[in-house]
Amino acid sequence: MNDPMSTPWGELKLSRFPEDPRDRLRAWDASDAYLLEHLSEQAVDLSGSLVVLGDRWGALVTALAAHRPVQITDSYLGQEATRANLARNGVEPGTVGLLTTQDTPPERIDVLLVRVPKSLALLEDQLLRLAPAVHEGTVVVGTGMVKEIHTSTLTLFERILGPTRTSLARRKARLIFCAPDPARERPANPWPYAYTLPDGIGAVSGRRVVNHAGVFCADRLDIGTRFFLRHLPDTRGARRVVDLGCGNGVVGTALALDNPRAEVLFTDESFQAIASAQATYQANDVPGHAEFRVGDGLSGVAAGSVDLVLNNPPFHSHLATTDTTAWRMFTGARRVLRPGGELWGGGNRHLGYHVKLRRLFGNCHLVAGDPKFVVLRAVKR
C-alpha cells in the first residue's frame, strides 16, 4: 500500500496485486487522476451504462463505484487488484461488474472510459468489440500518459468510433475525446490472427499458431522464442509439464506434440494469452492432455507436483523493465517441481538469469547460447 489517491469523490487506498510491501510502485497514475478530474469538472452524466476499459489496478472503477461501472480487462493481476481495492474501500461485492476482454461486452454503453493499453492491437480489438454498443450520445473519453498516446492511437479511435481530438497535457497525462459516429463503416476485426510457423523449430515447424490481440509477439514468431523452441528438452519421461507465461502457447504445444504422454498446464496472467494458447493447441490436433489456466505465476499449483517447467519470462510490466516477475516465476518453479524436476528457461543473455537460477536452485546449466539468447536448465535437488 502507498500514498492514497485523492479524487474528486474522496481519498482511495489502492494497491497493486500481488501486494508486496517492498513495492513502491503506485496503483494509479496522473492519467487516472486527470480522467476523474475531467468527469467531475465537466459534470459528465454517469447515470447510464458506464464501461471502463483497461483500468490498470482498479483505481477508476473504485473511484466510480457509486455509478455501478463495468470493468473490462485482459489482466488477471489487474482484476485481482481491482477486487482487493474495491474491498479495501468498502465497496460491496457485485457493485462493479468485472469482465475480461474475452467476455461478451455489455449491449449498450452510455459512457466509455478507456485507459489506453500498451498494446495498440488490444485497443483495436476491444474498440471493435465495443463499437456496436456505442451510440451517438455515448460519451467516450480515453486517458494515458503523454508517452503512451501516439498519432496511431488517435487514428484508431477515429477509424473505429468517430472524430477524435486530445486535451492539453496535465502532469504529463492527456485525455482523448471521441464523438461516436454510428454511421461510420467499421473495419472488420483482424483478431484473432493465425499464421504458419517457419521450418527448423522442431515439432511445431509448419504448424499454425493463433494469437488474440495483445499477446506477446502476436504477428510473428519472437526470435527468443524461436531459439527456445530449437532447444526444448527431450522429455519422454516427463509427465506433468507447465508452460509458465505461455503467451500463444507455442512452447507448450511443441512439447506436447513431441511427448504424447505429457500433461501440459498452460498458464498466463493474460486472458487473451490463455484463449490463444487454447486455440493454438486445438488447431494442431495435439495428442495427450492439457489444461489452460489464467493465474498469477504458479500460484495454485501444488508443491512438488511438476516434472518440468518451461518459461520464457516477461521483462516488461506496463512499460517498465523489471525482473520481479521472472524472479517470482523462478521461485514458484522451485516450489512446484518434484526433486529431480527441471526448469528450462529461455531469455535474453543480457538479463543474466543464470545468476538468479544458481542462487535459487544451487545449479544452472547452459543448454544453448548465441550472442543474444540463452536456454538455461536448473534442477531441483
- Residue 23 sits in the site that holds ligand SAM (CB under 6 A): no
Cα–Cα dist 294/215, whole Å: 13
Q: Which stretch binds ligand SAM (CB under 6 A): 81-89, 122-130, 155-163, 217-225?
A: 217-225
In the window 153-212, what residues touch ligand SAM (CB under 6 A)?
Answer: none
Cell 495428442, residue located:
287
The kind and range of the H/E element at 139 are strand 134-145
Residue 193 or 216: the one with the smaller Cβ distance to ligand SAM is 216
Cell, residue 274 = 490463455
User: Is residue 310 a contact partner of residue 375, using CB atoms and an 8 Å limit?
Assistant: no
Q: Which stretch binds ligand SAM (CB under 6 A): 35-43, 159-167, 240-248, 372-380?
A: 240-248
C-alpha to C-alpha distance for 371 and 350, rounded to whole angstroms: 9
- Segment interacting with ligand SAM (CB under 6 A) among 55-63, 127-135, 176-184, 244-252: 244-252
- Please report how close the Cβ of residue 257 comes to ligand SAM at its closest, in angstroms: 16
Q: Is 222 in the site for ligand SAM (CB under 6 A)?
A: yes
Residues that contact ligand SAM, how many (by CB under 6 A)? 19
Nearest 5°: the CA angle 93, 116, 181 is 100
- Distance CA(286)–CA(289), nearest Å, equals 8
Nearer Cβ to ligand SAM, position 176 or 209? 209
121/173 with CB nearer ligand SAM: 121
Count, residues in the chain: 381
What does residue 61 show for φ and ψ, rounded to 5 degrees?
-70, -25
Whichever of 111 and 238 has its CB closer to ligand SAM, that residue is 238
- Cell 532447444 appears where? 231
Q: By the 8 A CB rule, do 311 and 352 touch?
A: no
Rounded to whole angstroms, the Cα distance separating 268 from 272 reads 9
Q: Which stretch binds ligand SAM (CB under 6 A): 35-43, 102-110, 170-178, 269-277?
A: 269-277
Minimum distance of ligand SAM from residue 108's CB (angstroms): 31
Applying CB under 6 A, does 117 fall inside the site for ligand SAM?
no
**What are the φ and ψ backbone dihedral angles of 107, each rounded to 5 degrees?**
-75, -30
Nearer to ligand SAM, 27 or 77 (CB): 77
- Only segment of 42-50, 144-152, 266-274, 337-345 that touches ligand SAM (CB under 6 A): 266-274
Contacting ligand SAM (CB under 6 A), which of 116, 312, 345, 380? 312
Chain position carrying cell 516450489? 335
Alpha helix ranges (H) inside 218-258: 223-229, 250-258
Which residues are at the interface with ligand SAM (CB under 6 A)? 77, 216-217, 222, 225, 245-247, 250-251, 268-270, 273, 296-297, 312, 314, 325
